[in-house]
Amino acid sequence: MSEIPENDNLPVQEPPAAAPSNPQAQQRQRASQLAQALRAELRKAVIGQSAVIDDVLTALIAGGHVLVEGVPGLGKTLLVRALARCFGGEFARIQFTPDLMPSDVTGHAVYDMQSEQFKLRKGPVFTNLLLADEINRAPAKTQAALLEVMQERQVTLEGRALPVQLPFMVLATMNPIEQEGTYPLPEAELDRFMLKLRMDYPQQDEELNMVRQVTRSAKADMLEVSPLRTLLQAKDVLALQKIASDLPLDDQVLDYAVRLARATRSWPGLAMGAGPRASIALVRGARARALLRGGDFVLPDDIKSCALAVLRHRVRLAPELDIEGLSVDQVLQQLLDQVPAPRL
């Protein structure tokens, strides 16, 4: 099992009176403390949105990609920049626009006059954390440039398959599809995102606190991420992912995850259900949730807590319910309430 390296800057909680003697349990405890310290650091920059922060950390630990939807100005890009600040690996950003070409994402071959040969120029996708900002501002042809790398962690350029660095995570932001100048994301691309998160307006006290902090900043209307500490490197993220994947999972909990995904395929009000990727994402997400809360094994509540984010972009609402004004989340919440969870 990978080792979590010690970090002198990391605030480590005092060990409990009866510290676990099992090396594997100690490793899990250390990993959980590292994940919780990262959560606390992100909350210094992103005021409110605690659930969204937990979901992004869930995807990071589970090795998945995240799509964050919300109206402009809610801090979607700020959250990704804050995560990049806390992470010592490589970070790249692509601002998606209507004239962006697929080669601007993946790279292309250029002719070198001196050597009289074509050389590959790698695009910004060759990184650890990739911010795809306002991904639905670009047409489907450009969005499709991410399909291969999101699934296979490689990019094919000039007939050569080039692997990207690990860990690799795409964090995409998008504006609501009803807004001017947006393109819908194809189902194949949506399915590659492990989680789709919804960022809503902050609570009144959170907005008050945010305005107070921002108006004290020297950088106009921007919140600072520079004071945040770098808590983990690329190898630490890989170690967290390995430890999470080894967390014990009872067969009943596994069956519950599969039953939830399968229920969407015949549920009244859903015209299209979720595929097998949803079952896999539920289990991976639940293991990451268990590590984040410091648990020694996965609970049914870990499955349920990430179910909306896993399923909402993989199902399609029936037209009659759409006309009635019901949302996908409301229908999925009914499903979660009615599909029985195991009692462990």
Of 166, 163, 175, residue with least CA distance to 132: 175
52 or 206, greater pLDDT: 52
132 or 44, greater pLDDT: 132
- Beta-bridge partner residues of 111: 118
pLDDT of 339 reads: 92
9, pLDDT greater than 60: no
**What pTM value is reported for the model?**
0.84
40, pLDDT greater than 60: yes
Instruction: Quick: pLDDT tens for 135-192.
Output: 888 888 888 888 889 989 998 887 888 899 899 999 998 877 656 667 888 888 888 9
262, pLDDT greater than 50: yes
φ, ψ for residue 321, nearest 5 deg: -75, -35
CATH node for 248-344: 1.10.8.80
Measured distance CA(59)–CA(284) in Å, rounded: 9
Q: For 7-21, 32-46, 93-107, 145-159, which range has the lowest pLDDT when averaged over its residues?
A: 7-21
270-272 and 160-163 beta bridge pairing? unpaired
Measured distance CA(189)–CA(102) in Å, rounded: 14
Measured distance CA(214)–CA(223) in Å, rounded: 6
Measured distance CA(42)–CA(238) in Å, rounded: 19
pLDDT of 14 reads: 47
Residue corresponding to tokens 């992004």: 56
pLDDT of 82 reads: 86
pLDDT of 64 reads: 93
Domain boundaries, the chain: 23-102+128-246, 248-344
5, pLDDT greater than 80: no
Name the helix (H) or strand (E) containing 54: helix 50-62
What's the angle, vertex CA 55, arms to CA 64 and CA 203, rounded to 5?
A: 150
Mean pLDDT of the chain: 84
126 or 322, greater pLDDT: 126
Chain-centre distance for alpha carbon 63: 8
Please state, for a pLDDT cut of 70, what percent of the chain lies above it.
89
Measured distance CA(64)–CA(194) in Å, rounded: 5
pLDDT of 305 reads: 93
Confidence of residue 201 (pLDDT cuts 50, 70, 90): confident
- Take residue 290 and report the two structure tokens written for it: 């268990």
φ, ψ for residue 222, nearest 5 deg: -105, 140
95, pLDDT greater than 50: yes
Burial profile 17-34: b = 16 or more Cβ within 10 angstroms, e = fewer: eeeeeeeeeebbbbbbbb
Instruction: Quick: pLDDT tens for 211-231.
Output: 777 777 666 555 667 778 888
CATH 3.40.50.300 fits 23-102+128-246, yes or no: yes
248, pLDDT greater than 70: yes
Measured distance CA(61)–CA(6) in Å, rounded: 18
Give how far Cα 54 sits from Cα of 40, 61, 93, 192, 306, Å.
10, 11, 22, 20, 10
Name the residue type at position 22.
N
43 or 3, greater pLDDT: 43
- Beta-bridge partner residues of 119: 110
Mean local confidence (pLDDT), 263-273: 90
φ, ψ for residue 340, nearest 5 deg: -70, 135
| Domain 23-102+128-246 identical in fold to domain 248-344 | no
95 or 5, greater pLDDT: 95
257, pLDDT greater than 80: yes
Chain-centre distance for alpha carbon 159: 30
pLDDT of 222 reads: 54
